[in-house]
Structure 1
Amino acid sequence: MNKTQVPSLITSQSWYVIDAKNQKLGRMSTHISNILRGKNKPSYTPYLDTGDYVIVINSSEVSVSGNKTTQKLYRRHSGQPGGLKVETFEQLQTRLPNRIVEKSVKGMLPKGPLGRKLFTKLKVYPGPSHPHAAQKPQEYMV
């Protein structure tokens, strides 16, 4: 009789701060998604939440390479006929700078209930301050 062994999750969850100032969006997002999934820990299990919390500051100053500031498009749809809204990276960065980092990281997380749970551990702020000082986050260099 084979039994599946579920690892015990006694590991504590840490908090990390990542400064997005002058960081490339894609490279930074892969580091963030790996921390959220827990791939930086020896106790990583693909189907369990073993990741840590991530705080991203200065999201309004994230950069992209090439001509993506004018050519990269973000689309959303209201559900109504003709309700497609299209924005460039530049427009979205001035309007909602958090959304760029959130959308990039969310695309790198698993789809389904686990991915939605992991996404709640991401906190993104456009400026240099955040309200999570009580958690004593560690500085993470990308």
Structure 2
Amino acid sequence: MSLKRVQQWATFARVWHIYDAAWQNPFDSAKLLRKHLMGMHKPIYHPLNDCGDHVIVINSKYIALPGDEWKKRVYFHHTGYPGGASWTLAWELHTKDPTMILKKAVYNSMAGNLQRRYTMERLHLFPDTEVPENLLKNVSNQLEQLRPKPKRLDHYDENYVKEFPKLIDLPKDYVLR
């Protein structure tokens, strides 16, 4: 009997998740983050039920947009005054605020959700790994990255690099032009 009560409490509890956004596509990550912010992973989910969790996102400064999206993607903003429309390129927006692209991606992924403004209050974005201690002590789950983080060649063991199979052996007098 008491186990059922604990199970019910755990179902309705707000869990704190942490997600590393380094080298991740923000639009793919937004779908994963939306699922946990809205509580879609819980058995009690309903669109009008506010049962979502908190998500802390670190390293939003190091996101990776596909292709040449940094140069071609444009974000619209309007001040509300006549002539107040402005369009900002993704790389310019990212230099001004490194959390904004991921924040906008998550907000747009929740289109049609009547509670998305309140749901976004549970999203905590940080440009690097510095997170306040009072937030970190709440974290009980880590969300897995969608794609593996690439590893630089100088971070591999020297023996591993030497023993890695070569496709071709270039002659010693070969010069790249």
Q: Structure 1-normalised TM-score?
A: 0.87
Partner of 1:97: 98
Gaps of 5+ in 1: 1-7
Partner of 1:31: 32
| Alignment partner of 1:135 is 2:129 | no
CA distance in 1, matches of 2:113, 2:53: 19
CA distance in 2, matches of 1:136, 1:50: 17
Identity of aligned residues (%): 27
- Misfit runs of 4+, over 4 Å: 110-113
Alpha carbons 1:48, 1:114 under 8 Å: kept: no
Matches within 5 A, 1:48-87: 48-87=49-88
CA distance in 2, matches of 1:83, 1:110: 24
Partner of 2:89: 88
Shift of 1:18: 0.5
Q: How many positions carry a matched residue from both structures?
A: 135
Larger Rg: 2
CA distance in 1, matches of 2:115, 2:58: 24
Alpha carbons 1:22, 1:61 under 8 Å: kept: yes
- Structural RMSD (CA): 1.7
CA distance in 2, matches of 1:37, 1:97: 24
Gaps of 5+ in 2: 1-7, 146-177
CA distance in 1, matches of 2:127, 2:140: 17
Shift of 1:136: 2.8
Q: Structure 2-normalised TM-score?
A: 0.71
Partner of 1:124: 125
Paired AA for residue 43 in structure 2: P
Shift of 1:103: 0.8
The structure, 1 or 2, with the larger RCO (C-alpha pairs under 8 Å, 6+ apart) is 1
